[in-house]
Chains A and B, each alone.
Chain A
Amino acid sequence: MNSSEQTPTGGRDPVRVFLVDDHALFRTGVRAELERAGDAVTVVGEAGSVAEAVAGVAHYQPDVVLLDVHMPDGGGAEVLRRVRSTRSSVVFLALSVSDAAEDVIAVIRAGARGYVTKTISARELVDAVVRVRNGDAVFSPRLAGFVLDAFADRPGAPPISDPELDLLTPREREVLRLLARGYAYKEIASELFISVKTVETHVSSVLRKTQLSNRYELSRWASDRRLI
């Protein structure tokens, strides 16, 4: 779906990955892990700042950008803002140690197709990269929790302006709760008696709502964010 000329849909070509993180040590670590993990992915380049990332993505035209949430000069969200309008075929997966819901949601709302934490194993990371390249969303348990929180119906929450975007369906909520409980897509599918493809559809729909909904909680998170 989102693959470029080098990687025809369903093909066996390795996913071309570009790393963006302001810590060189961390980039080296991820590169080594991905290279050890086999042929499914290949690291084509890396960048240590927002400006380098914008130039690097334009030059290498990777399939997937692994994007740090926290960086000087605006972080991952700024890279997304500057790249996405011109390179719509490149997909972004946020990779961070950040615990703050508002920062993670900000990067998702800027266009990242998923969020995983840096403690993820190499095998799971490769899996997540392949998944976003194929057009799916990748929700770590933590992101699932953040999104459930963002859409929670608290007392005093403002009215829903667009039910299509501002509410999760009961099924989407169920899928998110299972993700938050640590279930893999396959396990969710068998738990709910649906196909893995249907699980993916639900998760993609939740991603879309998280990106487009203007519910108070989401916008408040965005405006309250206070980075150091």
Chain B
Amino acid sequence: MIATLAGAAVLTVPWWLRTVRALDEERRARIRSQERAEIAAHLHDSVLQTLALIQKQAEDTKEVRRLARSQERQLRGWLYGPSGYGRGGGGAAAGPQGPAGPPPAADPTDSGSVAPHSPVGRSLSEVIAEACGEVEDTFAIKVQQVVVGDCVVDERIAAAVSATREAVVNAAKHAEVGEVSVYVEIEPTQVEFFVRDRGKGFDQEAVPTDRHGVADSIRGRMERNGGSARIRTAPGEGTEVQLRVPRDANRQ
């Protein structure tokens, strides 16, 4: 009796194997088609919508450029960002983003204001990309940004990011250029930020006292947070704002 059962079990082994393999294959096909559906949904919600917006506003060059830039940034983030599709995150973490919608409702002149959600605890490279993106959208200029290394943003670094953003906004408003360069380097003991434009520059002695942008938003903010700010500029020579903030030794 036992021998018969054992025999039956052995005889059905190939059938079992086939069934398991078929199930496995079916599961994989299901995952593939889900992934495909997700990509299609993402492209529909973002790229196709933006292309439609661009067609509607084809006469407005500035707006078209803004839409294209904004969509490019979103798509890049989705493809190559830290949690992006191309990074093996499957795109699930990134989720579909809407079309490159209207510019942020914030008053462009209130440039020093901190983003609605605090950057503290997030990745510095993401926070910088976001800040540069906002200025690109608001002022329709190109902000070329390069970040070397990465770290978690603490209060001091968050303040430096705000100062960096202010420097980019100043360049966008006053330098009369189409492009601003932002470079951030994260070192073990400090973080450095550079904001540079090849615009008209200014005489640092002659800045009217009612323009608090540089004095308060940049220099004051850095000094209150244990950092420093240096500005290199002259009329006709462009401007570079250099910021430095120490990293918290207790945290990596």
Contact = CB atoms under 8 A, between A and B. Distances in A.
B181 interface: yes
A8 B188 CA distance: 49
B86 A228 contact: yes
Contacts of A227: 86
A53 B144 CA distance: 31
Contact of A99 (B80, B148, B183, B185): B80
Interface string B148-167: 11000000000000000000
A185 B80 CA distance: 29
Contacts of A180: 146, 148, 183, 185
Taking residues whose C-beta sits less than 8 angstroms from the other chain, chain B's interface range is: 20 to 34
Q: Which secondary structure dominates where chain A touches chain B?
A: loop
Interface in A59-100: 97-100
Contacts of B185: 148, 177, 180
Contacts of B76: 97, 99
A149 interface: yes
Interface string B125-155: 0000000000000000010101111000000
Contacts of A148: 148, 185
Nearest to A227: B86
A152 interface: yes
Contacts of B87: 226
B142 to A, nearest CB: 7
A73 to B, nearest CB: 18
Contacts of A228: 79, 85-86
A106 interface: no
B221 interface: no
B71 to A, nearest CB: 12
A181 interface: yes
Contact of A141 (B80, B88, B183): B183
B172 to A, nearest CB: 15
A57 interface: no
Contact of A145 (B80, B86, B142, B183): B183
A181 B88 contact: no
A144 B80 contact: no
A155 to B, nearest CB: 8
Interface string A140-165: 01101100110010010000000000
A102 to B, nearest CB: 9
Interface in A207-228: 226-228
Interface in A164-189: 177, 180-183
A138 B194 CA distance: 22
Chain B CB within 10 A, most for which of A145, A177, A182: A182
Chain B CB within 10 A, most for which of A98, A145, A227: A145
Interface in B164-218: 181, 183, 185, 188, 194, 196
Contacts of A226: 86-88
A141 B86 contact: no
B244 to A, nearest CB: 13
A97 B183 CA distance: 19
A144 B181 CA distance: 13
B149 A181 contact: no
A141 B181 contact: yes
Contacts of A152: 148-149
Nearest to A100: B80
Nearest to A147: B148
A54 B76 CA distance: 29
A181 B80 contact: no
A149 B148 contact: yes
A121 B194 CA distance: 23
B177 to A, nearest CB: 11
22 contacts: A97-B76, A99-B76, A99-B79, A100-B79, A100-B80, A119-B142, A141-B146, A141-B181, A144-B146, A145-B148, A145-B183, A148-B148, A155-B188, A177-B183, A177-B185, A180-B148, A181-B181, A181-B194, A181-B196, A182-B183, A183-B196, A226-B86
Given A145-B183, A177-B185, 10 more contacts: A99-B80, A141-B146, A141-B183, A142-B144, A180-B146, A181-B181, A181-B183, A227-B86, A228-B79, A228-B85
Interface of B: 72, 76, 79-80, 85-88, 142, 144, 146-149, 181, 183, 185, 188, 194, 196, 240
